[in-house]
Amino acid sequence: MKNLLLTLTLSLAALPVLSAHAFAADDLPPARAAEPDAADDLPPPRMSTRKPRTVEASAAESAATLDPTDDLPPPSAKKSYARGVKPTLKYGVDDLLLELGGLPDATEADTYSTLRAKAYVLWQPSRDWELRAGARVDGAMQRGGGADFTDLSADYTDTYVRYRSSDTRLTLGAQTIVWGRADEIPLADRVSRADLTRFVLDDLPDRRRAALAARWEQTLGDYKLDAVWLPVFNAAELPDASSVWSPINLATGEIIGIAPSPAVAALVKNAAISEDEHGSGGGAVRLTKTGGAIDYGLTLARTRQSQPYYQIGGTPFAPMLTGVHPFNNFAGADLELESNGITWRMELGYTDAIPVTLPTAVTITAPSLDWVGGMEFFPGGADTRINLQLVAQSLQTDKTVLQLTEYYGTNGSIETSFGQGRWSAGLRFFGGFNVKNLYLNPEISYSGWEPLSVYAGYHYFNGEDRTLAGFQEDHSMAVIGMRGQF
Amino acid sequence: MSPPVSPLHLIRVFFLALLLATPAAHADEASNLAQRVHERPNGSDLVTLGRMVLTEKDHAPRIREIVTYRLDKSNGETANLIRFLAPEDIAGTGLLSIDQADGSTDQWLYLPALDRVRRISSDRKGGRFVGSDLYFEDLQERRPSEDRHRLLGKQTENGILCDVLESVPVDADNSVYRKRILWVDPATAIVQRTDYFEKDLKTPSKRWLLRGKKRNQGYWTLTDSRVIDLSSGHETRMVIDSALYNQKLPAKLFTSQALADETIESEYRP
């Protein structure tokens, strides 16, 4: 019995070792070879975003005096350690673009080159106040046809004074405010000023300019009320009249969105073109809720749209085309939710008075009902992003007009990156279902030379009359360029 | 009447029972270790200021400066806010993640160019975070119950005799990885190394290594670590230059308002 007990004791003593070996020894990975350690050549760290203060010094001191053998952390702080906003002065170039484009099919030009540079300075002396000033230089050069031109212009970018207190933020000055949820064509985008100098070649943020506005943003829990008043109306920035991206083609006598005809062409070619920019731009309010299962928004606006509607006037001997921007009322609702790896976005909008043109060249207005629905997802949960949107636009009129009264189509983008994010490839597109209206913009870019990236791409347009791509059908363009921010 | 049971037979049965019970005991031990790693004291909230260095052979390193905020809420939610400070092309971009108690995650992205908060899918587990070797999954909280754990033995790593822990997803669709092997310092429950297996169960595709740690306010902060893509040699080094625990971060910091207005969170930066 004594021997048996001894055997048992020995067996039990040996059990953990034996079982460990029998259990997993084969699964234990081989000891790794030492990884070559990267040289410690990092630049000095940004140890702090602010200068040390007394409170921080004492906190650091208490941490330093802790017994290093004590595994128990100290009790939580009783009050918040908000340190206040450090006065900051920031400046930089927030956009640089140099692009060379070749237009193989255009009669007006062989090349179109672009320079765009934006710089800013931002001063925040305290939490409450923020001042920003920004300026931009835009250059365009069109060569190789009958409509050569060179244009260099300067403009302001966001230049404002901002005051914030608790949940209130007030901003006065030139601002770029783009409302909405859908990509590229958000319906709630009613207070921004469009930049049409490069048609649709750029992403949405670069197709907008700062406009003079007074803005009140009030946060109420998960809700935000955003009210904007445009005391002075700012029309869209238009390209040079000779530019291939002009909404009026002086060579063919066509106006974008209007069915071409010999009568219209004769009128356009002889008309004096002007812009009506007087008065205020109106105002709008937007209520949004973010957080929880669904984000949503409601928008009410009485504003003038910055894109011109060309009204035909004058006399047969002295025709006039005037870019007008009539007030219209807009009511819209939008929502955004995520389900099964897909982000769904939707916008619905009603506009009461869209100006349209009768065959007699008389302008009337008609209400419009618009809808955009989109889905964004990452196939396989990896590095490719796909955003697909459906678009429906319906002008509520039974009269025959020169514009399209119904449009159903799609748009979106596909983007992917590779080479540890140094390379990216993408495709932006739109296409019509009920009319041919095709735009494709494949692009590949290399961003290995930060802060600059270089890219090559193509803008392909093909469509019927009265469509965007149809209007630019001869202006498909191959581009190479460089972008940067520093 | 049944025949009397001999003492030798009883001992054999007892010994056999012990042997049979051993895997279960080890599974418990492994789960306990995984739980200890998960529950390692990390403060009720944390602010870090750090850098992510993307290194690739024959290329200049790319550096991203990041400030992060984390708050563990009493209802089991964990909120995270990440803000990029540099380089300029992504500066101001913010990512807000709310890990719900039920395991789901809500995420919003703030894009300064559009001044817009966008809800994004948290399902992008295998996407590379700002072009680094970290996947979005690596940034998400992973609960021990989402994996089956097994102790493989002991091995020295960083000069410490570590417990080697294998973790395999209970639901294969729940992770980019087919398994992970962790080298855990049993004294502190700090992971010293992790090997990630994606396609091949025998050959790791990625390795995370701890380079340095430091005590801040009594908490261990992993101040320097790196992730190596074992096939390409790409490396992402993560350096935490400053960490502040238990700052009583307000819940307001983890809202779309703070995501869209850098000023609100900048009050709490180190």
Contact A429, A413 (CB under 8 A): yes
Tokens of A173: 């000055």
B33-38 mean pLDDT: 96
Residue A355 has pLDDT above 90, yes or no: yes
3-state class (DSSP) for residue A183 = coil
Residue A45 has a pLDDT of 65
**Domains of chain B: total:** 1
A311-318 mean pLDDT: 84
Flag if A448 and B181 touch (Cβ within 8 Å).
no
| Neighboring chain A residues of B206 at a CB cutoff of 8 Å | none
Residue A354 has a pLDDT of 95
pLDDT > 70: percent of chain A: 85
A274-298 mean pLDDT: 94
A174-182 mean pLDDT: 96
From the list B117, B121, B267, which residue is nearest A84 (CB)? B267
**Residues 6+ away with beta carbon under 8 Å from A478:** A101, A102, A104, A456, A457, A458
A51 belongs to a structural domain: no
Residue B140 has a pLDDT of 81
From the list B7, B126, B235, which residue is nearest A38 (CB)? B235
A99-127 mean pLDDT: 96
Query: Chain centroid to CA B237: how far?
Result: 15
Residue A461 has pLDDT above 50, yes or no: yes
State pLDDT tens for residues A179-236: 999 999 999 999 999 999 999 999 999 999 999 999 999 999 999 999 999 999 999 9
Domain that holds residue B84: 42-266
Cβ contacts from A onto B, under 8 A: 247
Residue spans of beta strands (DSSP E) within A378-435: 385-395, 406-418, 423-432
Residue A1 has pLDDT above 70, yes or no: no
Q: How many CB atoms lie under 10 A from the CB of residue B245?
A: 24
Contact A147, A242 (CB under 8 A): yes
Q: At what angle do helices A2-24 and B7-38 cross, to 10 degrees?
A: 40
Flag if B126 and A77 touch (Cβ within 8 Å).
no
pLDDT > 90: percent of chain A: 68
CATH number at residue B97: 2.50.20.10
Domain that holds residue A288: 88-484
Nearest chain B alpha carbon to A420: B131
Flag if B250 and A80 touch (Cβ within 8 Å).
yes
Higher pLDDT, B75 or B19: B75
| Distance spanning both ends of chain A, measured CA to CA | 85
- Where do we find the tokens 């906190």? A59
Asked whether this complex has an ipTM greater than 0.95, the answer is no
Where does the pLDDT of residue A160 fall: very low under 50, low under 70, confident under 90, or very high at 90 and above? very high
Residue A54 has pLDDT above 60, yes or no: no
B31 belongs to a structural domain: no
B10 belongs to a structural domain: no
- Give A112 to chain B, closest Cα distance, Å: 25
Answer positive or negative: Cα dihedral of A187, A438, A469, A376.
positive
Summarize chain A as % helix, strand, coil (round to 5): 10, 50, 40
State pLDDT tens for residues B36-83: 999 999 999 999 999 999 988 888 888 999 999 999 988 888 999 999
From the list A73, A81, A486, which residue is nearest B43 (CB)? A73
B151 belongs to a structural domain: yes
B2 belongs to a structural domain: no
B193-214 mean pLDDT: 95
- DSSP-assigned letter for residue A373: E
CATH number at residue A396: 2.40.160.10
B135 belongs to a structural domain: yes
- Where do we find the tokens 């010999």? A262
| Neighboring chain B residues of A83 at a CB cutoff of 8 Å | 267-269
Residue A316 has pLDDT above 70, yes or no: yes
pLDDT > 90: percent of chain B: 64
A52-80 mean pLDDT: 43
B101-130 mean pLDDT: 88
Residue spans of beta strands (DSSP E) within B56-172: 62-72, 78-86, 94-99, 105-111, 116-120, 147-157, 160-169
From the list B11, B114, B119, which residue is nearest A343 (CB)? B119
**Domains of chain A: total:** 1
Flag if A380 and B126 touch (Cβ within 8 Å).
yes
A377 belongs to a structural domain: yes
A90-105 mean pLDDT: 96
Contact A70, B218 (CB under 8 A): yes
**Residues 6+ away with beta carbon under 8 Å from A456:** A443, A444, A445, A478, A479, A480, A481
Where does the pLDDT of residue A56 fall: very low under 50, low under 70, confident under 90, or very high at 90 and above? very low
From the list A42, A83, A169, which residue is nearest B267 (CB)? A83
Flag if B217 and A63 touch (Cβ within 8 Å).
yes
A358 belongs to a structural domain: yes
Residue A168 has pLDDT above 50, yes or no: yes
Contact A435, A464 (CB under 8 A): yes
pLDDT > 70: percent of chain B: 90
A78, A81, A94, A387: which to substitute to probe chain B, counting the most B Cβ within 10 Å?
Answer: A81
Where does the pLDDT of residue A79 fall: very low under 50, low under 70, confident under 90, or very high at 90 and above? low
Query: What backbone torsions phi and psi does residue A331 show, to the nearest 5 degrees?
Result: -130, 130
- Give B128 to chain A, closest Cα distance, Å: 6
Residue A8 has a pLDDT of 36
A234-253 mean pLDDT: 92
B242-249 mean pLDDT: 94
3-state class (DSSP) for residue B204 = coil
- Give B237 to chain A, closest Cα distance, Å: 9
Residue A20 has a pLDDT of 38
From the list B26, B65, B119, which residue is nearest A46 (CB)? B65
A118, A338, A482: which to substitute to probe chain B, counting the most B Cβ within 10 Å?
Answer: A338
- DSSP-assigned letter for residue B218: T
Q: Is B208 exposed, middle or buried (0-12, 13-18, 19+ CB in 10 A)?
A: buried
Among A222, A267, A233, which Cα is nearest to A248's?
A267
A196 belongs to a structural domain: yes
Flag if B155 and A31 touch (Cβ within 8 Å).
yes
A41 belongs to a structural domain: no
Residue B28 has a pLDDT of 87
The enclosing H or E element of A52 equals: none
| Neighboring chain A residues of B270 at a CB cutoff of 8 Å | 47-50
Higher pLDDT, A335 or A6: A335
Contact A351, A370 (CB under 8 A): yes
A31 belongs to a structural domain: no
Residue A6 has a pLDDT of 38
In order of A134, A223, B109, the CA distances from A219 in angstroms are 27, 6, 18
Residue A270 has pLDDT above 80, yes or no: yes
Residue A290 has pLDDT above 50, yes or no: yes
Residue A52 has a pLDDT of 41
Residue B25 has a pLDDT of 60
B69 belongs to a structural domain: yes
B73 belongs to a structural domain: yes
Q: What's the CA gap between A393 and A405, in Å, rounded?
A: 8
Residue A63 has a pLDDT of 39
A16 belongs to a structural domain: no
Best-predicted range by mean pLDDT among A343-347, B12-16, B90-94?
Answer: A343-347
State pLDDT tens for residues B209-244: 999 999 999 999 999 999 999 998 899 999 999 999
- Give B2 to chain A, closest Cα distance, Å: 23
A11 belongs to a structural domain: no
Where does the pLDDT of residue A269 fall: very low under 50, low under 70, confident under 90, or very high at 90 and above? confident
Flag if B127 and A382 touch (Cβ within 8 Å).
yes
B174 belongs to a structural domain: yes
Average pLDDT, chain A: 87
A84-108 mean pLDDT: 93
Residue B199 has pLDDT above 80, yes or no: yes
